[in-house]
Amino acid sequence: MNTRLQHAAQLVQACNGPVQHGRVQGRIQQYECAFDWRPESVALARRFTRDVLAELPDETVGDAQTCVSELAGNAVRYTHSGQPGGSYRVRVERTDAYALVEVTDQGNDHGQAPEIQLGGTESGRGLWIVAQLGDLTTIATPDGHRVSARINLPNAHPADGSG
């Protein structure tokens, strides 16, 4: 394991909750970590993402960090994940063709769903930005939502990552 991945593994150990790290399935490598409710955890989630993806092009790593920042920020801001005692999960997946970041939150009392805003104002741009950087997917879970962004690597054929 290289130094970056060692660091990611240490960060995983520092996180709360059950953790799987370094799982390799075929050519997919994935790391998963639970982060707690405090807003400062968003910076940790960004760092976790950077460390897991460190060997990919800088542009991809930066885009993935932006996405995780927006998605984790939303989880903390709009769901029980951001209430004292709450948490959210971040999964980062890496293949030869793409990087994927996924945030699973604990939902809120209104059953509100993440929704891209097209109002053109300064706020309400987070999910729009994520959708410009990658393929944005939202799935409802029993508690809340799982939102992911898949970012294709430069020069990779999108089909490479599906098999």
Residues that bind ligand ATP (CB under 6 A): 70, 74-75, 78-79, 105, 108, 112-115, 117, 123-128, 145
* CB closer to ligand ATP, 70 vs 93: 70
* CB closer to ligand ATP, 14 vs 139: 139
Q: How far apart are CA 88 and CA 33, in angstroms?
A: 9
Considering the rule CB under 5 A, would residue 82 count as an interface residue with Mg ion? no
Q: What is the DSSP letter of 160?
A: G
Please give the distance of CA 34 from its chain centroid, rounded to a whole number.
11
Amino acid symbol at 21: H
Residue 66, binding choice from Mg ion, ligand ATP, none, Cβ under 5 to 8 Å by partner class: none
Q: How far apart are CA 79 and CA 102, in angstroms?
A: 16
Min CB(60)–ligand ATP separation in Å = 21
Please give the distance of CA 150 from its chain centroid, rounded to a whole number.
10
* CB closer to ligand ATP, 56 vs 76: 76
Min CB(3)–Mg ion separation in Å = 33
| Dihedral angle of Cα 9, 53, 61, 67, to the nearest 10 degrees | -60
Cβ-based neighbours of 124, under 8 Å, separated by 6 or more: 117
Min CB(115)–ligand ATP separation in Å = 5
Residue 136, binding choice from ligand ATP, Mg ion, none, Cβ under 5 to 8 Å by partner class: none
Which one of 82, 126, 134, 161 is in contact with Mg ion (CB under 5 A)? 126
Min CB(52)–Mg ion separation in Å = 22
Min CB(63)–ligand ATP separation in Å = 16
Q: What are the structure tokens assigned to 127, written together?
A: 């999910």
Q: What are the structure tokens assigned to 88, written together?
A: 């959210």
Residue 105, binding choice from Mg ion, ligand ATP, none, Cβ under 5 to 8 Å by partner class: ligand ATP
β-pairing, 87-94 vs 145-152, is unpaired
